[in-house]
Structure formats: structure tokens, C-alpha cells
């Protein structure tokens, strides 16, 4: 019998997750309610007692869920997503093919924008590792999620450089944004996203988790840039 499935998910997987869920829903008749949030927001919502059937997040968030005994043993890895660079549509493209070009482009930029999700946390640590964090701090704008970064960049002006998960940048390219390219290989960071059942998940949620592991679902995720 069809049932209702409640999902709380990181936003980076949205471009692949939404079409995968549409296929599953069409084939099974299950009613799916999904909300997207950043990893810190997912942590906060789970800590206050929110009870979805499935949580999709980086492993460290799910590890914390498991420590509270609110997670079931079953989980499926959807894939990994890298960090990409974007600019306003029509703006000059920054040179970032090498580490030195990347650093110089950031130092020459007028503004640097990113979110406070997994991508943004990595970018913060990368700037520190490159030794330019203090030099560029005054140019940085941080937002809670990608949607706010997208709106800032698409409505911006001047020489701005922004960062986000490659999946959502590609999904929004053309809506005032231009995808420059992924970070250089030696600077790249991939975040893995896993779907985990919570303790109150019923059979429809178990069926959805099994679907995530099928070749058909994997093909949808891959097509969206979830490796």
C-alpha cells in the first residue's frame, strides 16, 4: 500500500533527488514530503526533535544522529559532490586553473560570496590553508543557503566570485549565473551524501531507500552531477 514519506535533505543533492523521487512516486503512488536545509540546519532541527523518515546529509551529520539512537541501521550513499566557482552572467571569468591563479583572482576580486553549508565551511578552511583569509575577509559575504548566494550574485555588479556545490550551480546556470568550472583538482573537496532511515521509518521509506540503491536511481543522480 502507498504511504507517506517525510524527508529532510541537504540542498546540494536536490538536482538529482527531485527527479529520482518523482520517478519513485510515479511508480509506487507514495506521497513524499521533502524539505531542504543546510547541514547545520539539519543538525539543529534533528536536535529539537524533528522526526523525518529519511535524512539525507553528509556522514558526519548522520553519525551524530546515530549517537542519539534515532537512526536505523539502513543507509545508502547517493554519491559525492564537488565545489564549483560561479560569477554573474556576463561578468569576466576569473583565472583559476592553478593555485596561484586562484589566489590572485580572489585577491583581485571586489566581492566573494558563499554559503554556510558544507561547501562554505570547506571554502573557509581553504582560504586559511592558502594563507589569504585575513586579506580577503573584508570582501566576504556569507549566506545561510545557496538560494541567497544565487540571488546576490545574479543581482550583483562588479568583479564578484562565488562558490557553491557544482550540482546547484549547473542547475541554476542561465538564471543570472554562469558556471566557471570546478575548483582546481589540487584544491577540490568532495562532500559525500548519504540517505539514512530514522527509527520511526515505515515500509514506504524502506522501499525508497532500496530504490536509491538501484541502477536506475544511480543513473539519475549521475546525470545531475552526483558522482
Domain residue ranges in the chain: 4-80+192-223, 83-182
Q: What pLDDT is stored for residue 174 in this prediction?
A: 85
pLDDT tens-digit map of 31-78: 999 999 988 899 889 888 888 999 999 988 888 877 775 666 689 999
pLDDT tens-digit map of 68-80: 756 666 899 999 9
Domains 4-80+192-223 and 83-182 share a fold: yes
In CATH, the architecture of 4-80+192-223 is 3-Layer(aba) Sandwich (3.40)
Q: What pLDDT is stored for residue 67 in this prediction?
A: 77
Task: Look up the CATH number of domain 83-182.
Answer: 3.40.190.10
Q: What pLDDT is stored for residue 106 in this prediction?
A: 96
- Are 180 and 86 contacting, i.e. CB atoms less than 8 angstroms apart? yes
- Are 161 and 111 contacting, i.e. CB atoms less than 8 angstroms apart? yes
Q: How buried is 130 (Cβ within 10 angstroms: 0-12 exposed, 13-18 middle, 19+ buried)?
A: middle
Q: What pLDDT is stored for residue 1 in this prediction?
A: 53
pLDDT tens-digit map of 105-143: 999 999 999 998 889 999 999 999 999 999 999 999 999
Amino acid at each position: 500500500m502507498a504511504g507517506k514519506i517525510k524527508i529532510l535533505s541537504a540542498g546540494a543533492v536536490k538536482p538529482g533527488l527531485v527527479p529520482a523521487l518523482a520517478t519513485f512516486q510515479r511508480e509506487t503512488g507514495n506521497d513524499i514530503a521533502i524539505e531542504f536545509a543546510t547541514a547545520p540546519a539539519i543538525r539543529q532541527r534533528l536536535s529539537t526533535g524533528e522526526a523525518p523518515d529519511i535524512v539525507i546529509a553528509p556522514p558526519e551529520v548522520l553519525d551524530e544522529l546515530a549517537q542519539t539512537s534515532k537512526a536505523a541501521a539502513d543507509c545508502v550513499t547517493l554519491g559525492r559532490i564537488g565545489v564549483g566557482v560561479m560569477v554573474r552572467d556576463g561578468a569576466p571569468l576569473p583565472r583559476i586553473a592553478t593555485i596561484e591563479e586562484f589566489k590572485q583572482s580572489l585577491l583581485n576580486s571586489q566581492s566573494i560570496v558563499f554559503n554556510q553549508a558544507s561547501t562554505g565551511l570547506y571554502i573557509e578552511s581553504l582560504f586559511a590553508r592558502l594563507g589569504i583569509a585575513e586579506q580577503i575577509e573584508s570582501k566576504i559575504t556569507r549566506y545561510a543557503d545557496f538560494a541567497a548566494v544565487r540571488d546576490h550574485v545574479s543581482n550583483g555588479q562588479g568583479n564578484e566570485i562565488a562558490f557553491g556545490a557544482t550540482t546547484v550551480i549547473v542547475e541554476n546556470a542561465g538564471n543570472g549565473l554562469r558556471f566557471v568550472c570546478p575548483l582546481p583538482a589540487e584544491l577540490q573537496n568532495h562532500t559525500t551524501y548519504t540517505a539514512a532511515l530514522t527509527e520511526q521509518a515505515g515500509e514506504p521509506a524502506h522501499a525508497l531507500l532500496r530504490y536509491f540503491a538501484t541502477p536506475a536511481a544511480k543513473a539519475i543522480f549521475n546525470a545531475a552531477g552526483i558522482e
